[in-house]
Structure 1
Amino acid sequence: MSSVPQSKDELLSAINSIFPKLMADYQVVPESWSRVCEVEGNVKGTQISVCDTVAYLVGWGKLVLKWHSLKSRGLPVDFPETGYKWNQLGLLAVSFQEQYSNWKYKDLLNELDSTISELIGLVLSLSNDELYERTWYEKWTLGRMIQFNTSSPMKNIRAKVRRFNKNNGLQ
């Protein structure tokens, strides 16, 4: 299998292989450490909290679900999100952090779990053709858009969370 999923089965496999590992790494972090800003941020030179990484994944996951919902009903979609352009993804990430800033860590993890379950459900409900055989947004397939916002950032974030855990003796 290539590192980039090329089919429905590979996409499901990519999500299902990284997500439980990421959740296990998150489970190691106690609530009292979840808002400590010692995780490398998406914007160079910034530090964010473990909660912020969860908010990032929830935010993007919910955006993908929103895009699909609107598009499948023939409604226009503001990509990546209303009020943001593709060159403002750092600002969009900050908006996700702000949106979930008052959530308890446990509730954020539950939200991530349900968002990923919903995304897996979406993938399962679509054919390989719908996911990978036709362009969905500009030159990208829907499968690729889902992967860009699930398994890819999960791998990146997992490395950062593991580094945070190791640096703080949380094993």
Structure 2
Amino acid sequence: MAVPQNKQELLDAIRTTYQKLMADLASVPAEHARDATLPGHRQGTQMSVSDLVAYLIGWNLLVLKWCDGKSKGRPVDFPETGYTWSELGRLAQKFYADYAGVAYADLLRLFADVHARIVALVEQENDASLYGMPWYEKYTQGRMIQFNTSSPYANARLRLRKWKKANAIT
């Protein structure tokens, strides 16, 4: 999928990749959702499908936090307070831990909720606010949203489909 260049393309990318990913996530039996047999986000680690969903929830919540902070003129710690961009594997581990006790069906509901919040956020913006100026370093707000929604959704779907095939899950 091409890199979105405007609000409508961003919304289309977020919605399309999310819908495809959710269809694949919905077919994962709950009894296999905690099997730590997927390559993790940190070198040499394993994660479960539940961890993958937790990771996506975590990043989507960060996007909402960044946008809220920036809109209120507050300083924003990118990527997250206490983490640097070189510590994304450690941040992924935090996301896994944050949702370790949450049932798979509840994780899917939380993911649907945060996705809806992301879509609502983008819908209230316009092309100028999303793509008209740098928002974080050289990146526009739209690009930062895309980096942390539709791109990881597509990546997660590739990982998930490979895992499902290896585990004979249809």
Give the TM-score band, short-chain normalised: over 0.9
- Counterpart of 2:107 in structure 1 is 108
Contiguous gaps of at least 5 residues in structure 1: none
SS at match of 1:136: coil
1:147 aligns with 2:154: no
Q: CA deviation at 1:152?
A: 0.4
Give the corresponding residue for 2:42.
43
How far apart are residue 164 of structure 1 and its match?
A: 1.2
Matches within 5 A, 1:3-42: 3-42=2-41
How many pairs align? 170
1:71 deviation in Å? Answer: 1.1
Q: Which residue type is aligned with residue 68 of structure 1?
A: C
Segments of structure 2 that go 5 or more residues without pairing to the other structure are none
Counterpart in the other structure of 2:117: 118
CA RMSD of aligned residues (A): 0.9
In structure 2, distance between residues paired with 1:93 and 1:154: 15
Q: CA deviation at 1:46?
A: 2.1
Q: Which residue of 1 aligns with 2:128?
A: 129
Counting aligned pairs with the same residue, the percent is 49
CA contact 2:59–2:148 (8 Å) conserved in 1: yes
- For the residue of structure 1 that corresponds to 2:62, the secondary structure is helix
**TM-score, length of structure 2 as denominator length:** 0.97
Q: Deviations over 1:104-141 (max 9, x none)?
A: 00010000001011000000000010000111111110
Question: Offset at 1:9?
Answer: 1.0
Match of 1:65 in 2: 64
Task: Give structure 1 regions of 4+ aligned residues with deviation exceeding 6 angstroms.
Answer: none
Paired with 1:14 and 1:41, the residues of 2 have a C-alpha distance of 24
